């Protein structure tokens, strides 16, 4: 990528963050838009249009994938994914006003890009191996099974790239979240998007995926916008990441756990939160949910945060319900699996003490509707 294109991306991303921090009328935004316009005019003079695309997890500029997109390039990809766009084209003749409108639209939470005379934006077209999400995914049982399997595999791949000692690569997780958000729009039966757990070794990835689906679905029925759904999905996928810091020996122990072993398992909340707080580019919700998902509505649960009257975050309450539901319906060495109706009864028993009663009500209603649909 030429230095000028790099400079343009940096200027545009800085303008977008200043627009979010201050407003579109702020002097710094005006200066940056002017600079972006000057750079863009020079770039387009040489080669028009300038095309920016996301293909798989790469940023592709004028049809060539970037080996190292840099911080601003990565942020640009993240912004585009959040907005549901996979391609942008800037064309000759563009003026400052259009750039400002585009930057302001991108910086505003929940706002989709509009129409601009010299900027074209492409919509989501996420490829999953041979399967393409969107109008082409088959919603018959086989198509859905393939879709679910693909998502769980992506989560498995992403998880395998990180360890306590390595950096987290979250682009696979971003894709999974985006794919589910699109699929919700077409497949309203939540139970069809939940994956069965076949073997114990699959549990970690399948559970993470299912908790994300259930949490995003709850949030969607409560009216959350795409940006929030995205952040909830990422946070839910990572809620148990702290378990990577606990020895396999304890996690997979067949017999009864002794007190010290339970204490260690409970620490996955602290380990996860501490780890996620250090990872760049994750939603702020991720460490919060990792820390709080075993807290209870009545303030009990773990870890003991020694805080008074500070409520568990609403998203942690949502994830706690998804976590409970999926843990009970999946076979684990120390639990039997339950029928969905049994789990709903248990959830209702926990409403008001373990779980937020309004969320339990909303969740039960959604699941019961799904059950009736069959």
Q: Which is nearer to Fe ion, 226 or 240 (CB)?
A: 240
Phi first, then psi: give them for residue 276, nearest 5 degrees. Answer: -65, -30
Largest CA distance in the chain: 71
Q: Binding to Fe ion by residue 354, rule CB under 5 A?
A: no
Smallest separation, CB 159 to Fe ion (Å): 14
Q: Which is nearer to Fe ion, 137 or 319 (CB)?
A: 319
Residues 217-256, one symbol each (x = binds Fe ion by CB under 5 A, - = not), give -----------------------x----------------
Q: Which is nearer to Fe ion, 284 or 332 (CB)?
A: 332
- The count of residues interacting with Fe ion (CB under 5 A) is 2
Smallest separation, CB 302 to Fe ion (Å): 10
- What are the CB-based long-range contacts (under 8 Å, 24+) for 248-256? 252/200, 252/333, 253/333, 254/333, 256/334
What are the Cα distances from residue 151, in Å, to 10, 162, 167, 221, 238? 32, 18, 21, 22, 14
Q: How far is Cα 63 from Cα 76, in angstroms, rounded to an integer?
A: 16
Q: Which is nearer to Fe ion, 226 or 292 (CB)?
A: 292
Smallest separation, CB 208 to Fe ion (Å): 8
Q: Which is nearer to Fe ion, 88 or 173 (CB)?
A: 173
Q: How far is Cα 177 from Cα 358, in angstroms, rounded to an integer?
A: 25
Smallest separation, CB 271 to Fe ion (Å): 11
What are the Cα distances from residue 89, in Å, to 81, 92, 97, 115? 16, 10, 16, 12
Write out the binding residues for Fe ion, residues 27-66 only, by CB under 5 A. none
Write out the binding residues for Fe ion, residues 309-338 only, by CB under 5 A. 323
Using CB under 5 A, list all residues that contact Fe ion. 240, 323
């Amino acid at each position: 990528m030429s230095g000028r294109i790099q400079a343009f991306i940096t200027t545009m991303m800085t303008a977008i963050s200043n627009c979010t921090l201050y407003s579109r009328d702020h002097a710094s935004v005006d200066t940056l838009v002017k600079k972006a316009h000057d750079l863009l005019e020079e770039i387009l003079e040489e080669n028009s249009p300038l095309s920016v695309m996301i293909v798989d997890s790469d940023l592709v500029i004028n049809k060539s994938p970037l080996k190292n997109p840099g911080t601003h390039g990565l942020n640009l990809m993240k912004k585009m994914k959040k907005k549901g766009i996979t391609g942008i084209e800037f064309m000759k003749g563009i003026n400052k006003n259009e750039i400002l409108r585009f930057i302001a639209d991108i910086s505003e939470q929940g706002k989709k890009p509009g129409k601009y005379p010299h900027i074209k934006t492409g919509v989501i077209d996420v490829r999953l191996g041979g399967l393409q999400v969107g109008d082409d995914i088959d919603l018959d049982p086989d198509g859905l099974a393939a879709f679910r399997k693909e998502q769980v595999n992506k989560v498995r791949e992403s998880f395998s790239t990180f360890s306590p000692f390595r950096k987290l690569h979250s682009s696979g997780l971003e894709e999974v979240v985006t794919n589910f958000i699109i699929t919700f729009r077409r497949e309203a039966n939540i139970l069809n998007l939940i994956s069965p757990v076949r073997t114990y070794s699959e549990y970690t990835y399948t559970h993470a995926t299912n908790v994300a689906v259930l949490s995003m679905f709850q949030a969607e029925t409560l009216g959350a916008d795409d940006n929030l759904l995205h952040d909830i999905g990422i946070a839910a996928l990572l809620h148990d990441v702290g378990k990577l810091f606990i020895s396999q020996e304890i996690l997979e122990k067949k017999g009864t756990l002794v007190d010290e072993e339970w204490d260690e398992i409970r620490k996955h909340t602290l380990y996860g939160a501490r780890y996620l707080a250090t990872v760049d580019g994750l939603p702020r919700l991720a460490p919060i949910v990792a820390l709080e998902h075993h807290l209870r509505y009545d303030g009990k649960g773990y870890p003991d945060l020694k805080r008074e009257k500070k409520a568990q975050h609403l998203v942690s309450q949502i994830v706690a319900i998804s976590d409970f539901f999926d843990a009970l319906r999946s076979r684990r060495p120390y639990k039997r699996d339950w029928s969905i109706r049994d789990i709903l009864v248990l959830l209702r028993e926990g409403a008001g003490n373990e779980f937020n009663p309004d969320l339990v009500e909303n969740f039960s209603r959604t699941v019961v509707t799904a059950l009736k649909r069959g």
